[in-house]
């Protein structure tokens, strides 16, 4: 609790979509919310939604790929609010291209935003949460963090990576009272599709000699169908906030039944309890 008796949440990527709605929903449920975004001149949609909900947010600038800025941001939140109880690693971006169409720099960009960004912020908040003996770190991954999908090689690779990092960390932090988990949306209506990177390269999508053109066209048509029935950002944000504030601590959440069913294609452990149950015993310390 901060000086106002409220837990403090830090949310990334709040200029649009799920991050915007999750920031407002967390404030509606009584948390002090630090809502971050790359460009605060684009905060109008967020501040309008907050005003409509009758809540106030502390809006700050943060590009999650700028690790010095992340350090300054976390230090600033601790200085001003005294603590961070909930970190929602929401910022992320897709890339539609298959391996041959991706340069290593484009793959690295996907890792920077979807993997290293959340990992670096997690490392920055962990000491504060561990010393407090409590805290929640929730990372918005994707069904693509469990199920590889065509033309999402770099995106799914980065989302798988962040899930592996968080699952390994989760079992260690349990003993310190810090809950580390991921939440996997399926198709959600947001700015995501518009913001997706469409890398060029040797076999640029859409080029006349593109050997993948037919497959990409089929994929994009299928994807458009999925997004026509997408979950709303505000619905998905409620699921994110429910997971962040839940007293039922599990590693893996999905934002919808459809997302759970899809993740079930790859996983027999859709809530993560089997893996955490198995690895927990490996690091049990005997009481002194
Ligand atoms: N929509 C879907 O179907 C879907 C499905 C599964 C998972 N997800 C995941 O859900 C999360 C939220 O996405 P969304 O659907 O709400 O899409 P969105 O509307 O595009 O929101 C993504 C947010 O991330 C921000 N962002 C991107 N790069 C950033 C950076 N380097 N530093 C800080 N912020 C950055 C964007 O800010 P700018 O305005 O500055 O670009 C935006 O606010 C992402 O992690 C995404 O991968 C989305």
pLDDT in tens, 63-99: 999 999 999 999 999 999 999 999 999 999 999 999 9
Residue 33 binned pLDDT confidence (cut-offs 50, 70, 90): very high
Instruction: Return d(Cα 263, Cα 257) in angstroms, integer.
Output: 10
Residue 118 binned pLDDT confidence (cut-offs 50, 70, 90): very high
Gap from CA of 92 to ligand 1 centroid (Å): 4
Please give the structure tokens belonging to residue 75.
Answer: 């230090």
Q: What mean pLDDT is predicted for residues 16-41? A: 98
Please give the structure tokens belonging to residue 1.
Answer: 């609790």
pLDDT of 195 > 60? The answer is yes
Q: Are 140 and 21 in contact (CB under 8 A)?
A: no
Instruction: Return d(Cα 234, Cα 236) in angstroms, integer.
Output: 5
Instruction: Return d(Cα 58, Cα 180) in angstroms, integer.
Output: 24
pLDDT of 120 > 60? The answer is yes
Please give the structure tokens belonging to residue 21.
Answer: 């709605």
What average pLDDT is seen over the chain?
Answer: 95
Name the residue with the closest Cα to ligand 1, atom 46: 92
Instruction: Specify the pLDDT at position 212.
Output: 95
| CA 10 to each of CA 21, 46, 59, 97, 165: distance values in angstroms, whole numbers, following the listed order | 13, 15, 10, 32, 20
Instruction: Specify the pLDDT at position 83.
Output: 98
| Sign of the CA dihedral running 224, 226, 228, 232 | negative
For residue 38 and ligand 1, the question of a CB distance below 6 A is answered with yes
Instruction: Specify the pLDDT at position 205.
Output: 59
Q: What mean pLDDT is predicted for residues 184-212? A: 83
Model pTM above 0.85: yes
Q: Are 38 and 62 in contact (CB under 8 A)?
A: yes
pLDDT of 105 > 60? The answer is yes
pLDDT of 221 > 70? The answer is yes
For residue 83 and ligand 1, the question of a CB distance below 6 A is answered with no
pLDDT of 201 > 80? The answer is no
pLDDT of 135 > 60? The answer is yes
| CA 41 to each of CA 29, 89, 110: distance values in angstroms, whole numbers, following the listed order | 26, 21, 24
Q: Angle at which helices 153-174 and 117-132 pack, to 10 degrees?
A: 10
Instruction: Return d(Cα 121, Cα 106) in angstroms, integer.
Output: 22
Name the residue with the closest Cα to ligand 1, atom 25: 13
Instruction: Specify the pLDDT at position 285.
Output: 85
Name the residue with the closest Cα to ligand 1, atom 1: 188
Pocket test for ligand 1, best of 192, 237, 240 (most atoms within 8 A of CB): 192
DSSP state, 287? P
């Amino acid at each position: 609790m901060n000086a106002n008796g409220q837990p403090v949440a830090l949310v990334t990527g709040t200029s649009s979509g799920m991050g915007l709605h999750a920031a407002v929903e967390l404030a509606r449920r009584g948390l002090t919310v630090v809502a971050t975004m790359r460009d605060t001149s684009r905060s109008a949609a967020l501040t309008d939604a907050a005003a409509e909900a009758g809540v106030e947010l502390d809006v700050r600038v943060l590009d999650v790929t700028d690790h010095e800025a992340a350090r300054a941001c976390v230090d600033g939140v601790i200085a001003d609010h005294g603590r961070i109880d909930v970190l929602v690693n929401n910022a992320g971006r897709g890339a539609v291209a298959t391996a041959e169409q991706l340069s290593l720099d484009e793959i690295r960009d996907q890792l920077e935003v979807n993997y290293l960004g959340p990992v670096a912020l997690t490392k920055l908040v962990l000491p504060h949460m561990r010393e407090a003996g409590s805290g929640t770190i929730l990372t918005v991954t994707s069904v693509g963090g469990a199920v590889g999908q065509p033309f999402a090689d770099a995106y799914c690779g980065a989302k798988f990576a962040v899930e592996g990092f968080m699952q390994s960390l989760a079992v260690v932090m349990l003993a310190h009272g810090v809950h580390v988990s991921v939440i996997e949306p399926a198709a959600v209506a947001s700015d995501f599709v518009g913001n997706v990177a469409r890398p060029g390269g040797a076999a640029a999508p859409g080029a006349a000699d593109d050997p993948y053109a037919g497959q990409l066209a089929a994929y994009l048509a299928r994807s458009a169908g999925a997004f026509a029935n997408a979950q709303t950002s505000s619905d998905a944000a409620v699921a994110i906030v429910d997971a962040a504030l839940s007293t039922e601590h599990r590693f893996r959440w999905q934002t919808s039944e459809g997302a759970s069913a899809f993740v079930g294609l790859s996983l027999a452990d859709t809530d993560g309890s089997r893996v955490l149950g198995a690895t927990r015993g490996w690091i049990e310390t005997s009481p002194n």
